[in-house]
Amino acid sequence: MIKMIIFRLIFLTFFFINSPGYAADEPVKQLQAFLKASKSLTADFKQVLINEAGDPYQTSYGIFYLQRPGKFRWDYLKPFQQQIVSTSGKVWFYDTDLEQVTIKKLDESVGSTPALLLSGNISLDDNFTMQDQGVDGDMQWIKLLPKNQESSFKYILIGLNKGSLGGMELSDNFGQLTRIYFSNVLLNPTIKPTVFEFKAPKGADVFSD
């Protein structure tokens, strides 16, 4: 379970960014503009995992924090508690129930291109083909297709709602579909540095790659 969460969340993290000034731009240009403009973000999230039959089998809730370059934190609050914290080129994964911490480098080993894009070191245009998917409901959707044939996912859909990131969908090569819905999105807030600090709890098993 924790391995699957690692890949999905690293994939998705890069895109939790927003930007002002969207009205006159085409959808793909909107996406490019707010990915470049935003420096920090906080939001509540709802994550739904869907199996190959199209049935949801796990729903999780939590809080997300982002500080560019390269810092993010996912706090899963229910139905289980987990933390995923990234800073200084490393990612810490803490499973509360297992009392286990896994440390990985923030590079190809933890999810390929999207994780590296978070650091701002890789071009969106160079690594993805972007397609306008039109409007569904109250959101404008853009599909991102990875150019790297060895990528672990098939596509990412990003939903923009009046310049705000409202939803995302990721299809991976394991037959898994992940959907995330956002609320209470706050753009460019001041986030305390301690949010991105992680210290293994006393008694937890620590594994490092």
Q: Is 12 helix (H, G, I), strand (E, B) or coil?
A: helix
With a cut of 70, which residues of the chain have pLDDT below it?
1-25, 34, 107-124
- CA 113/CA 183 separation, integer angstroms: 26
- CA 100/CA 203 separation, integer angstroms: 9
Both tokens of 112, joined, read: 């390929």
Stated pTM of the model? 0.80
Query: For 61-120, what is each residue's pLDDT tens digit?
Result: 999 888 887 788 889 999 999 998 888 878 899 999 999 999 988 764 444 434 444 445
CATH superfamily of 2-208: Lipoprotein localisation LolA/LolB/LppX (2.50.20.10)
Pairing of strands 100-105, 205-208: parallel
CA distances from 151 to 128, 173, 174, 178 (A): 11, 8, 12, 16
